Structure formats: structure tokens, C-alpha cells
Amino acid sequence: MALAEIIVKYLDGDPGSLDYDEEWAAEDNKFRSITSFTASRASLRELRDYLADTLKYARIRAERQIKAGELPGGWFDPKDWDGWQKHMEGLIHRLDGVLALEGSTLELAHPLAPTVPELTM
């Protein structure tokens, strides 16, 4: 799930939000410094299917837990359980969008365009 969340941050052009904002880490821009990465279609399909299976079986398990009078999915607050399901659905949907693109290798973060120095005369 964490890998899918990271991929979505790059797709949204927001990898910097993965870095710490605290003063002690001001110069530690690990995620901001990554300018591109790719993944094979097969790898993304595996990740997508893993998330879908995790969600499917969590829901099946939750149904049994509810019937037994237990908390669904082990969540103490039903809104957290609902929120987690929506989050997983969103990640799956985003990966479906990437998988709909052409090619066997998919660009998940685009390299920054090289800057052209200004000419001074």
C-alpha cells in the first residue's frame, strides 16, 4: 500500500509532501530529489492486484467479524474502516489509470526539463 501511495504522490506531482517538514530535516529532500522513475506494466499490475485482493479479503473478513459481534476490520471507529476502504479504492483506481496507458514500461515521475542558462550580453 505504501508503494502505491508513493506512486500516486509522484503522479500528482507532489513527491515533496513525502519529505519531513520539520526544521531538522530542512535539507533532507530525499523524495523531492527523485526526478524520474519507471515501472514495468507487470509490476504495476501485481501491485494493483495485491491491493484489490487485500481490500476484497478484508471486506470478507469484516463481514464475518460483524456477524460475530466484533469490530469490522479491527477498526475501533467505523468511519476509519470506511475511510480505509475508500483510500484503497482510490489507489486501485489510480493504478488502473496508469495501466490504461500504452507501453510495457510506464513513466511514474517525469524528468525535469533541463534549464537553459540565460545569455547575458
DSSP single-letter state for residue 102: S
Q: Report pLDDT for 24.
A: 65
Residue with the three cell numbers 524520474: 36
Average pLDDT, the chain: 80
Distance between CA atoms of 77 and 68, rounded to whole angstroms?
Answer: 17
- Tens digits of per-residue pLDDT, 25-68? 566 767 767 767 788 889 999 999 999 999 999 999 999 988 99
**What are the boundaries of each domain within the chain?**
2-106
pTM for the full model? 0.75
Which DSSP helix (H) or strand (E) runs through 39?
Answer: strand 37-40
User: To 5 degrees, how large is the angle CA 3–CA 93–CA 107?
Assistant: 55
Of the candidates 81, 91, 101, the residue with the CA atom closest to the CA atom of residue 12:
91
